[in-house]
Structure 1
């Protein structure tokens, strides 16, 4: 008898490395397909070391920007939390918005209650920079980002003539895993990475030699981080969403 679509991961243990506040939806989706899920956060999102003052300053002069560009849901959450604290959320009403992919776009749209202006076909920072329109002389783009953000978006926009104001909205740290959790992770059939920072965090937690299961990534940038860490990638999600990740895990498991 063919395996049910909702049990196609039965008997397999899958590690989810997202931050604890972001792991539940993916973990639930994997369990619905029969997987045993180990949530082992490789990253935690905390305020930037500068205390958030540069972010406050940018939000207070938001009308000066033509665009705001988001490369992660964490940046969206941190930016709008700070905007609410400063009472300036309404200033996003007229600014054009760009998001690196559909998941980030959905988070932006939930915050501003209108469609995002730009989502690139290629869902990474370089693709977002390349999808921007040509700037006018007085155009400025506001980029709230991780303190450890890669330079592709900012450098790409500046290379095309954009004025860019990039500020740290948050930073990533690596939590410590319990010995019991490390043991569960080490024996898993698959591990899922949704960001380069999760790859680096996971490696520092358990070491590359302890990753024995199939590696599944949300996109090409994360896959590149795995290659840098000498991890062989079994599958990359066709779409940078929870459903895309689950499909990639299933495909890797039955390949």
Structure 2
């Protein structure tokens, strides 16, 4: 467990867990992030005849700005910035970027079997969510991924009829609307109002979503739980944890599986 700040909270059936998906439920370092790097590399080569592929650290630095949760937009921004450094302004249709990205991420087969998505390792397990249900904790998902992509991974976890707010359903993070929509649906399913919303994510945008939610709807107690995504190397994990904490994380864990119904966040601070 990474160093945390203290949170006055004991998990109970008055708590709701809402999860991001990419980097939390599934490892996207070889899929979404690979497709992002492929896309930037492809367009830079076509436009300038130069070889450039963003590193994982460069992608992290962009996402640390807190507004590039959408990987299509992040691809476009990285291309634009590279061209700017060269003193060039070359318009690129956003649709072209999306189409190329999807050709790598989903592949060309209708069942996505040749896409990067088919190789994504799972981080969470079906048993993990069963444990939450047994403990009386309501749970669901708020993800910037498309509904089709998010549903693909949830089906692999054998989660039927999940509560899911996806890209098509709400404004992108850090806008908190999607988090609160998921919360309301979970409350309806549980048949009661929640006291605490625990949002679990792996990016600055995820943490800022919670920060903004506190102002948007102060009727809940909020806990921002950051997890270190798998692509972050061991020597950079403390730096990544600090970045999440600087942007609102109350607790930072190495994996979503560490966030259990038995965890007392008040006593989970580790120096």
TM-score scaled by structure 2?
0.35
Higher relative CO (Cα under 8 Å, sequence separation at least 6) belongs to 2
